[in-house]
Each structure stands twice: as structure tokens, then as C-alpha cells.
Structure 1
């Protein structure tokens, strides 16, 4: 008898998060589909490619999303607990998943506008964060000091000119951008190097 050959593994795209209306959504798509990823980014969701085994196992609970011939995609509503579980895995030190999010704040109801909201976060949520101050570039996540009473907060680099960074607070999109010198921001520990093979 001939031994059955294993089918080659097809990479999946996982989409998860809270949309612009704060509703939990998520789905999985067979293959890395750019149309589905673009819909996810438009909704403010996180797209995960090259998922770690832990994330992929938990993400089996996600419903299957659909991509239509028109180019539109459907990402179902899911339970908030599942979003929380999957995001916790992505934030776990050493998780090798590649997660991306495009912050489309200009489409939000608060009317915020400007090119600064269109920066794609190049850093996966845990792995891939800048490992040195020289590596910091637009789209990276760093810590910025907000004052002695407020402490340090996550900020996205909007622009870098030499050693001057233009930043915006990740969790306070209504606040204006601000400027800091490169030496005054802190790096977030990216965790150990991990092998995606």
C-alpha cells in the first residue's frame, strides 16, 4: 500500500479585535488574503499572519470569514472573551506571531483627521519591536513620558527626523501629536528572539 502524502500546510490569516464601534469581531481566512486584511485594517482590527502554534490552536475557535467576488470581506461578530484570550496570547513574551494593525482614526466619529493616522504599525504586537534606539522608525511602538503624575504610556512613532520623533499616544487618539528627542523615549522589551521556521 502507498503511504498517504501529507498535504502542504496552507497559511491562514487570522483577524481579531474591536472594530471602530467597539464591537468584538474576528475570523479566519484560508491563505493570506490581502482583501480580507484590508477590510480588517479599515475596521481597526488586528491581522495575524505566521501565527504561533499557541495562537493558531486558540484561533480555531474563530468563525470562518468570507471574501466575496466584489472584493469585500465579511468578518463576523464574536464574543469579547475570545478577543481577550487571543490578544493575551499575542502579548505573551516569546510569542512569534506576526500581528499588524493599521490605525484608521480619520474614519472615526470624532472627526480626527491628518496623515498621522495613516501610519501602519510595522511592529508585531510583541515580537519585532525596535531592539535599539537606532532601529526606531515610523510605525514603531515606544514608551513616552507624559509627566511625573501620569507616568509612561505607549506611543506610536508617526515620523522620525534625525533624532527628533513625532509621536501620538496609542490609547488616546484624540490627543494631538507631540515631539520628543530620541533619547527621552523608552524601548518596550521585545522578548527573546524567536525562530519562525
Structure 2
């Protein structure tokens, strides 16, 4: 089965989330109607802008962006984009979504509860293994492969924390100053033992 082009997938886009991270790198992605309310809340928590798609020009631009994902934590996966695309988005304006202070407090309390429940230590759920269990469980310090944007290559990342429900907090090995990010186990790949250092 052949994957649909990004432009076709983005036909359902209703909202774009975009912004700069702490290091000034541009991020942007589109969300469909089902994910739009959560994406808007996530944008507020992540201090990013939203652009509600209402013109053909905006929808065409969405077709050049990767699709975003919303996580149970209330945050969203908004991949890197090139500066030219980001400049076009910025020129279209957008708005900073208002976030209910109670929502922020609830998110902080949920994070605190998870930390205290685990005694401040990360627990290691059963992670992906290679054939016949020849790989050990993934743990803090393990090197895995992850990608920022589908179809744009995989890069080495270090597991910084093992979260609940098979979520991993990762940091790029070769770009340590980039912001950490979260991936589910099915969205990371394992290095061959001969290549893991």
C-alpha cells in the first residue's frame, strides 16, 4: 500500500500549531477537526500560536506541513519545519490561545502525582525487544533511533526517562541543546547491538 502524499492527508486540516522552541528552532504542524480542541490547549501549554484555517492559501500551506499528534499528557508533537515555511506562517498571523489556569494547575498536579507515585524514580515498563529477546529492556541511558518528521530520516537519541504507559522522554544524542521530546515505544527504533555505544 502506498502512503498518501502529505497534501492529501492534510485535506482534513482545520488548525495549525506553530512556534519557536527554547533554542529558537521553528516548529509547525496541522491537526484535524477531531484533534483541534486538544491541540489548541496543547499550544497554550507549550506557548505556541494557532492558526485556524479559513482560506485556500492557509490550507495549501497546511499541505506542506507534517501532521501533529496530541498526547495524553496534554502536550502535542509539533515537528521541526524549515524557516521559510515558518516565515509564511508567521506572516499569516495566528493567535495565542487562552488557557484556563485550572488546566495548567491540573497538568502540574498530574506530573507531580506521577513522580511521587514512582518515588521520584523512573520505572522501566517492558520495552521493545529484538528477535528472541536478544536485546535488554530499554532503560535510561539507552540509545535508540527517532525521527522528527516522518520520511525525513532517523537519528540517535538517548533515553532520559521512562514514563508510564510505554512513553519515553528522549534527547538527541548529537544535538544535546535541543529540547527533549516524548515518543511512544512503537515510534522509536532499536540500534543493532554492534552500533550502540
Q: TM-score under structure 2 normalisation?
A: 0.38
Higher helix fraction (1 or 2): 2
Q: TM-score under structure 1 normalisation?
A: 0.38
